């Protein structure tokens, strides 16, 4: 399922990162690669803050929808 549908506080493993080339590369740089654990901290209007590799990353809804967990 896309990351947008994940529950707050629930640990999920990333399966695939889609979307446009450059945004995807940037997400991968930040550690969004298959197999990594990701947790949603909060959600506001579809935008999410996630915890990944001990850092917090804010992602807009469009981008979060491309991350499959």
Q: How far is the CB of 27 from another protein (least distance, A)?
A: 6
| Per-residue binding letters, 2-31, with another protein (x by CB under 8 A) | ---------x-------xx-xxxxxxxxxx
Report the distance separating Cα 12 and Cα 26, nearest Å: 20
60: contact with another protein by CB under 8 A: yes
In 3D, which of 65, 25, 69 has the Cα closest to residue 47?
A: 65
Task: State the Cα–Cα distance between residues 10 and 38, nearest whole angstrom.
Answer: 8
Q: Is 42 in the site for another protein (CB under 8 A)?
A: yes
Q: 1 vs 45, which CB is nearer to another protein? A: 45
């Amino acid at each position: 399922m896309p990351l947008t549908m994940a529950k707050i506080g629930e640990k999920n493993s990333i399966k695939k990162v889609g979307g446009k080339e450059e945004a995807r590369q940037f997400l991968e740089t930040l550690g969004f690669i298959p197999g990594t654990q990701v947790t949603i901290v909060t959600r506001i209007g579809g935008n999410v803050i996630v915890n990944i590799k001990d850092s917090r990353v804010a992602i807009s809804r469009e981008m979060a929808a491309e991350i499959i967990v």
